[in-house]
Chain A
Amino acid sequence: MIEVNHVTRYFGRVMAVDDVSFQVGKGEIVGFLGPNAAGKTTTMRILTTFLPASKGTASVAGFDVHEQSMDVRKRIGYLPENPPLYLEMRVIDYLDFVAKIKGVDSKNRKKAVNEAMGKTAITNVSNRVIKTLSKGYKQRVGLAQALVHNPDVLVLDEPTVGLDPKQIIEVRELIKALAGNHTIILSTHILPEVSMTCERVVIIDKGKVVAEDTPENLTRKVTGSQRLTLSVRGPVEEVKQTLMNQQGILKVKSTASGDGKDVTTFVVESKPDGEIRPALAKTIIGRGWDLFEMVPESMSLEDVFLHLTTKEEGAAQ
């Protein structure tokens, strides 16, 4: 549905996007992940025909973004980082205007506007002037704007930025619900968002694609070890020594005791294969110490992301 081939974009002498290529299949949700100024927005702007690429080609639904930009524009819904709202308009008039310029004919326009408002749960504010809406509602109006002409492809630039936690969850649910009917590409620098909503992640840093896979695979690939957090009451040095002698353990770190009642927290790193938890628990109990907690710590996408983007930096130096 979306194809990006060796796209490069310069702003003057600054290279914002450097030879980026990726594909998105029909009905997929792809997360576009990267630190600020990584080139996410520029790539999205090229896809939505807002900016031309300096080099390379991109196509949406089989239409070239440069040569057939009007065909692309009809099939794409775009929510830029700042929702493009005419603040002095009422919600319903605004959506009607967007539907009009997106090419929805006058017969279906009212229905299209109502559907978009229904999907984004803004029907109750349809007669309000956009200026008077809260940030969360404005964001949803922005989303409704991208949906109103029922486009094949949705391009969402940081759709949850500036929302409160409840609204964030709602927007994520909405995006998930939209998948299947629409191909979605969304950018974010909030990592849990990607693992929660996206089937595939493209990590971009300094204008380059540094990794592309499912969130689970990425985590597995980068993680070289498992981590456990243990809370144990007992003599700190002795516990540490015992844990180190356990099979498969790579590293043990004791941190400050939790609440000053002799309970110490240990972070244990072990080899990625094999389950060590039952053995560990038995040993600790067997020595007469008290085991309060044992929590496996999987490496979050956050760590993966940091790993990838900082490794890049290290390599460059």
Chain B
Amino acid sequence: MRNFLAILNREVKSYFSSPIAYVVIGLFLLVSGIFFYLIVSNFVQICMRADMEAQYYRMAPPKLNVNMMAIRPILHNMSLFALFFLPLVTMRLYSDEKKSGTIELLQTSPVTNLQSILGKFAAGSVLYLIMLGFTAMYMVLLFIYGKPEFGPILTGYLGLLLLGLSYVSFGVFFSTLTDNQIIAAVSTVTFILFFWAVGWVSGFVSPAIGSALSSFSLIEHFEDFAKGILDTKHVIYYLSFITMGLFLSFVSIESARWRGR
């Protein structure tokens, strides 16, 4: 536990003692802020037009759902931005140690590989939590000017969290494979994009294969969270995905030790 905390602590400090954390968090907030603005102002326009039409036809103004029409697309957007930003956070976790040689310190200290993997995974997760935490202010704005439902926002954020941790977990894995951070980041993005899009082909293949494929898809499992539905099968899917990434990292590090890379 102490080793885990020591590594977690060092990694998080290292994120914040270099520009990485500030740039990644800042730009993530900028991009998601722009899209928040666009989506919300679009929603406001639709509301105003609907109001005007209702007045014109002398009907009661329609009740438009802010959760469905604004928050859900915002959550979807953030899940996509996280896909491109989180690999930039995780790419250095092992690649950098390999390149600078500090891996020799880590792997000749009484720290097990599991402790170091979990420490690094947790460090990436902490950074992601901070990113997500800041986006909560967008939701606060919606609560100030409107009456959104709280439940779907909560499940949506839980979904975002699980989805992001899946990215982090495989980000750690790809970072164990190479001492080149760019390669680590690009392979993580590609791999996750593949698991993201694998459900899209379901329309072109037989229904049995299609539903099997879409049950692998990272984003299909996110739908229910965004809608406000909390289903254990999705939670279990993400937890398995995360465990798989961590397990592969473990195998990769052990195997690299035997091969001497």
* Cβ A73 vs Cβ B108 within 8 A: yes
Q: A52-B257, A86-B10 are in contact. Are A70 and B102 (CB under 8 A)?
A: no
Q: Which residues of B have CB within 8 Å of A103?
A: 110
Write out, one digit per residue, whether chain B residues 98-134 have a CB within 8 A of any chain A CB (1) or not (0). 0011111111111110000000000000000000000
* Cβ A84 vs Cβ B105 within 8 A: yes
Q: Considering the complex, which residues of chain B in the window 1-57 have a beta carbon less than 8 Å from any beta carbon of chain A?
A: 2-3, 6-7, 10, 13-14, 17-18
Is B146's CB within 8 Å of the partner chain A? no
Q: Which residues of B have CB within 8 Å of A82?
A: 100-101
Write out, one digit per residue, whether chain A residues 75-90 have a CB within 8 A of any chain B CB (1) or not (0). 0101011111111110
**Residues of B at under 8 Å CB distance from A?**
2-3, 6-7, 10, 13-14, 17-18, 100-112, 257-260
Q: Which residues of A have CB within 8 Å of B103?
A: 84
Q: A11-B260, A73-B110, A88-B14 are in contact. Are A100 and B105 (CB under 8 A)?
A: no
Is A140's CB within 8 Å of the partner chain B? no
* Cβ A101 vs Cβ B110 within 8 A: yes
Nearest CB in chain B: distance from A150 CB, A: 14
Q: Which residues of B have CB within 8 Å of A88?
A: 14, 17-18
Is A135's CB within 8 Å of the partner chain B? no
Give complex CA distance A103, B108 in Å: 12
* Cβ A78 vs Cβ B102 within 8 A: no
* Cβ B260 vs Cβ A51 within 8 A: yes
Q: A85-B100, A86-B10, A101-B7 are in contact. Are A48 and B108 (CB under 8 A)?
A: yes
Nearest CB in chain B: distance from A54 CB, A: 9
Nearest CB in chain A: distance from B98 CB, A: 11
* Cβ B3 vs Cβ A101 within 8 A: yes
Give complex CA distance A115, B29 in Å: 45
**Residues of A at under 8 Å CB distance from B?**
9, 11, 42, 45, 48-52, 70, 73-74, 76, 78, 80-89, 93, 97-98, 100-103, 145
The 28 listed contacts between A and B (C-beta, < 8 Å) are A9-B260, A42-B260, A45-B104, A48-B104, A48-B108, A50-B107, A51-B257, A70-B110, A73-B109, A73-B110, A76-B108, A80-B105, A83-B101, A84-B102, A84-B103, A84-B105, A84-B106, A86-B10, A86-B102, A87-B100, A88-B17, A89-B14, A89-B17, A93-B13, A101-B109, A101-B110, A101-B111, A145-B105
Closest to A51 in B: B260
Q: A80-B101, A88-B14, A88-B17 are in contact. Are A49 and B7 (CB under 8 A)?
A: no
Q: A50-B104, A51-B257, A82-B101 are in contact. Are A98 and B109 (CB under 8 A)?
A: yes
Give complex CA distance A101, B4 in Å: 9
Interface centre among A50, A73, A76, A145, by most chain B C-beta atoms within 10 angstroms, is A50
Give complex CA distance A74, B111 in Å: 10
Nearest CB in chain B: distance from A44 CB, A: 10
Q: A84-B100, A85-B100 are in contact. Are A98 and B258 (CB under 8 A)?
A: no
Closest to B15 in A: A88
Give complex CA distance A98, B106 in Å: 9
Q: Which residues of B have CB within 8 Å of A52?
A: 257-258
* Cβ A78 vs Cβ B14 within 8 A: no
Give complex CA distance A314, B6 in Å: 53
* Cβ B111 vs Cβ A84 within 8 A: no
Give complex CA distance A74, B13 in Å: 25
Q: A11-B260, A73-B110, A78-B108 are in contact. Are A101 and B6 (CB under 8 A)?
A: yes
* Cβ B6 vs Cβ A97 within 8 A: yes
Query: Ordered nearest first, which 7 A-B pairs have the shortest CB separation?
Result: A84-B105, A84-B102, A82-B101, A73-B110, A100-B6, A48-B108, A80-B104
Q: Which residues of B have CB within 8 Å of A87?
A: 100
Q: Which residues of A have CB within 8 Å of B105?
A: 78, 80, 84, 98, 145
Give complex CA distance A97, B106 in Å: 11
Q: Which of B14, B107, B110, B111 is the one whose CB lies under 8 Å from A86?
A: B14
Q: Which residues of A have CB within 8 Å of B104?
A: 45, 48, 50, 78, 80, 84
Closest to B14 in A: A88
| Known contacts A82-B101, A84-B103; 20 further A-B pairs (Cβ under 8 A) | A9-B260, A11-B260, A48-B104, A50-B104, A51-B260, A73-B109, A74-B110, A80-B101, A80-B104, A82-B100, A84-B105, A86-B14, A86-B102, A88-B17, A89-B14, A98-B105, A98-B109, A100-B3, A101-B6, A101-B106
